[in-house]
Amino acid sequence: MKSIKLTDLGQVKNELNKYRKGKKLEIRQFNQAARLAWLGKVTMMPLDPEDPEVAAYLIYIDFPDGLSARLVNADEDLVGRIFILDGEQGGFLAEIVEQGVRERAALYEDLDRRDFYFDKFYSPGSDEEESGA
């Protein structure tokens, strides 16, 4: 754990400002986090919701499970950890979380409306062929 000398107030303020701004993920890590965000494996909130000057996000990236664990590769140093992410990347991840929720919900709605029996046992044109024969 990093220690900060409390005798130097300027250093404490600088460290606090670094945390308030957050850090950017590397491109590779951001892409992995975005994939997991689309899957709903990212939990995030503003770092300081009461301070409008703080744009950073506090995010937790959960481990993928089930089929996604087999198909989505994620670095061990990325999943299962909490990050303070800068506002720009945090905003993008929030958009990706929202997009993933909408797209997954649409898949479930389509599945609920789909008639598998009709698709498998009715072939278009078969009625016309029978009536014309």
Residue 126 lies in a domain: no
Residue 64 lies in a domain: yes
The number of domains in the chain is 1
Confidence of residue 41 (pLDDT cuts 50, 70, 90): very high
The parent domain of residue 30 ranges over 9-117
Token readout for 96 is 């990706």
The mean pLDDT value for 58-80 works out to 92
Distance from CA of residue 19 to its chain's centroid? Answer: 22
Averaged pLDDT score across all residues of the chain: 86
pLDDT at 129 over 60: no
What pLDDT shows up at residue 130? 55
Residue 68 lies in a domain: yes
CA–CA dist 58, 42 (Å, integer): 10
pTM: 0.74
Residue 107 lies in a domain: yes
pLDDT at 78 over 80: yes
What pLDDT shows up at residue 124? 73
Residue 106 lies in a domain: yes
Residue 128 lies in a domain: no
Residue 1 lies in a domain: no
Residue 30 lies in a domain: yes
Q: Using a CB cutoff of 8 Å and minimum separation of 24, what contacts does 41-46 make?
A: 41/68, 41/79, 42/93, 42/97, 44/85, 44/90, 44/93, 44/94, 44/97
